[in-house]
Chain A
């Protein structure tokens, strides 16, 4: 990759920090994202109401510690679908001034963001921390299927089977990086497939 190469659409993730003027706080985390939530609770707790939705993952489960650290408003959930359903119902009761904090893999972050978008919460209104893995959701620009948790530079599309080159070009609307067929001009000729998003 060219040194200094930068693509504007590529998301920038930060560390979670309480937004001091928020009227309420909603924290949504998955797996290793639990550590980001624990770090957040190391900071001075805001006075306003806090809700935490956490989904443990096989690789990382911080539920036991979170139960001790989070004063109230913690809900443990088992699957991503459960998190998203819960999120939907929690957001229905929330008002302008609430702030959303998300921590987890890129797949998880952008699934949460998609639900929040539905409520008119825009990208810049959410704080996001990428944790645990660099694995990417990849949107096939040919068949429109999304392949999840991609850790390599080239991946086989789960929809059409094409070999896709994983780009840095990101769509907030789709919550995924773009994948383009890499051997369209010389079928079967593939560069080495390497794990670059472990």
Chain B
């Protein structure tokens, strides 16, 4: 996959857990423009092991001088977010992929309701620029743990004015989803990005209120969980690969020198889908891409986030 060589131009501690990084291209040339909601995968070498994490681009889509991402330090990090927080500084060289958008705005919507939880605010930061430029009707509902954790709240207030509604958990402020999504005029689209319970709650509320599926948008990158180690057989490459506890299947496959397709590395896009040729145990599906029926069939797996509990697992790779 072709990558862009970048260096870090600025690092800013935004909240106790969130850092904002500004990237410029190593050769000084402009970045490609992108559309609001896009993300890049940042590749980092952590103690000899390559980590690749997806992060939403949060700068203006028309700013080709610099890309901006924000990283929340994860309590149960496998190393990626801790590396970004502790080892990346101004001048650090990294590689990123070209931007990909899996969370784009519906152009025909009459109004957009954006719902963010915590670090889930980042994809909306670039979408807001697009919405303002297109003079679109929108409202942003932003929930965070406590005011000190409300990253970019002041900046958002300046962009959104009265279209911004903030909710601090510490003050017992909650988004009333049923109230928010009931009695809305026709032609509205809802978007959610945040922690899993919030994403599930928004999708469920909208569905239960009869909203059509194509008016409900969500993005949630999963980090590959830590699990039990297991072994996989790659049929085409004819090798056996050991997947350690803290490594994803995709990472283990790559470390073994096998080229596998990927885009988001967060269980969303479906690019890394692999056919399961044989297995004698349980596939632990963690992705948001396969349908429940596909997951149950045991014929496909997303190696970026999913794992297995079995003695024998043969993949078509």
Contact = CB atoms under 8 A, between A and B. Distances in A.
Interface of A: 19, 21-23, 91, 94-99, 119-122, 124-125
Chain B contact residues, majority secondary structure: loop
B152 interface: no
CB-CB nearest 6 A-B residue pairs? A120-B187, A97-B210, A125-B212, A22-B210, A96-B184, A119-B186
B209 A98 contact: no
Chain A contact residues, majority secondary structure: loop
B214 A98 contact: no
B210 A23 contact: yes
Given A91-B186, A94-B186, A95-B186, A120 B110 contact: yes
A120 B209 contact: no
B188 interface: yes
Given A96-B211, A125-B212, 20 more contacts: A19-B210, A22-B210, A23-B182, A23-B210, A95-B184, A95-B185, A96-B185, A96-B186, A96-B188, A97-B210, A98-B186, A120-B108, A120-B110, A120-B187, A121-B186, A121-B187, A122-B214, A124-B212, A124-B213, A125-B215
A133 to B, nearest CB: 28
Contacts of A21: 207-210
A21 B211 CA distance: 8
Contact size class for B?
20 to 34
Contacts of B182: 23, 95, 97
B181 A96 contact: yes
Contacts of B210: 19, 21-23, 96-99
22 contacts: A19-B210, A21-B207, A22-B210, A23-B182, A23-B209, A95-B182, A95-B184, A95-B186, A96-B185, A96-B186, A96-B188, A96-B211, A97-B182, A97-B210, A97-B211, A99-B210, A120-B108, A120-B109, A124-B213, A124-B214, A125-B214, A125-B215
Contacts of B184: 95-96
Contact of A96 (B208, B209, B214): B209
